[in-house]
Amino acid sequence: MKTIIAAYSGVLRGTGSSILSALQDLFWLSKSKVEKQLQIISVLQWVLTFLIMGIACTLILMYILCTDCWAIAALYLAWLVFDWNTPKKGGRRSQWVRNWAIWRYFRDYFPIRLVKTHNLLTTRNYIFGYHPHGIMGLGAFCNFSTEATGVSQKFPGIRPYLATLAGNFRMPILRDYLMSGGICPVNRDSIDYILSKNGSGNAIIIVVGGAAESLNCTPGKNSVTLKNRKGFVKLALRHGADLVPVYSFGENEVYKQVIFEEGSWGRWVQKKFQKHVGFAPCIFHGRGLFSSNTWGLLPYSKPITTVVGEPITIPKIENPSQKEVDFYHSMYVDSLIKLFDKYKSKFGLPETDVLEVN
């Protein structure tokens, strides 16, 4: 009984060492096995959050409305109406949530690492272009929506906001969970607010390739969807926010995907979903829950190293011309390619590999 109480107390305290110690006492497992199980649990909860939490919470809320506890659901819905525009105004981040011990186990599962190459001035605002998307953008989430890799220590005075699909913020409970990590909608209202009405020292992380890029991600392939993605450059010019290229080595290695050829029925279905829903359904798999030799939803434990490049100084131009947008877009593409070429051999790629820009 004392052992069980100790385990329960460790979980409540929420520190990685206390949880680990309590579980060791409870299950008589070696330290390495307990750590591995905690890593798997931490990643699994995020994968399930990514895939089903929004729909699940919506269905649960609808069910509660039909029970004797309907008042609880009604109160939450009233709060939801009142709080509807909060995601567009920078959200409601929680340092407590960003520092949860579970994110450190999430980081160590792969592991994920954040590499700083240059200092960022707190007197400026920034738009980080994150590449590649991968299936779930796991490196983007861990590095910029948690403190597991020390983003606040590496870039003191900089507040990161990871931008994701606006539809996620229409889902009850999920929206609050996402906001607690500093995640915001990737729409103009939200980005305009953060870059113009939230002071300086803000960094919005945009996964530029989006759903289109996710359709082509597969192990061994280094390609980005960027040639015709210029909206983020126009936003940077309108607000005078510096552009920062970011490349995550290993992001495409953690899942295997069925790639449909252009013109096939599968790609047609994916593009229709992307156009009308905002995301593209991918047929992918990782490893199983109990064995790395079986298929499942868990990503493979492959290293992900996110390198934050040198900021490109952007002037403030309220109504930039297409020529100005094209000029700074070209500078950004060149900077991203140079970043990839400089660090590829350090993080497991051969010197002959090139970054494919589509």
**And the tokens for 258?**
């069925």
**Quick check: 27 pLDDT over 70?**
no
- Contacts of residue 165, defined as CB under 8 A and 6 or more positions apart, other chains included, come to 185, 186, 278, 279
Residue percentage of the chain with pLDDT more than 90: 77
pLDDT digits 0-9 by tens, 314-345 = 999 999 999 999 999 999 999 999 999 999 99
Model confidence at 1, pLDDT cuts 50, 70, 90, reads: very low
Which residue, 60, 32, 210, 28, is CA-closest to 136? 210
Query: What does the alpha-carbon distance between residue 204 and residue 148 come to, in Å, rounded to a whole number?
Result: 18
Give the residue with greater pLDDT, 9 vs 118. Answer: 118
| pLDDT of res. 215 | 87
Q: Please write the tens of the pLDDT for every residue from 221-238.
A: 999 999 999 999 999 999
Q: Which residue has the higher pLDDT, 167 or 21?
A: 167
Is the distance from CB of 7 to CB of 23 less than 8 angstroms? yes
**Half-sphere exposure at residue 341, Cβ-oriented, CA atoms within 13 angstroms:** 9
Q: Residues 163-190: what's their mean pLDDT? A: 95
Residue type, 247: Y
pLDDT at 148: 98
Does 80 have pLDDT greater than 50?
yes
User: What is the model's pLDDT at position 193?
Assistant: 96
Q: How far apart are the first and last CA of the chain?
A: 60
- Taking CA atoms, 25 is separated from 3, 31, 36, in Å, by 6, 10, 16
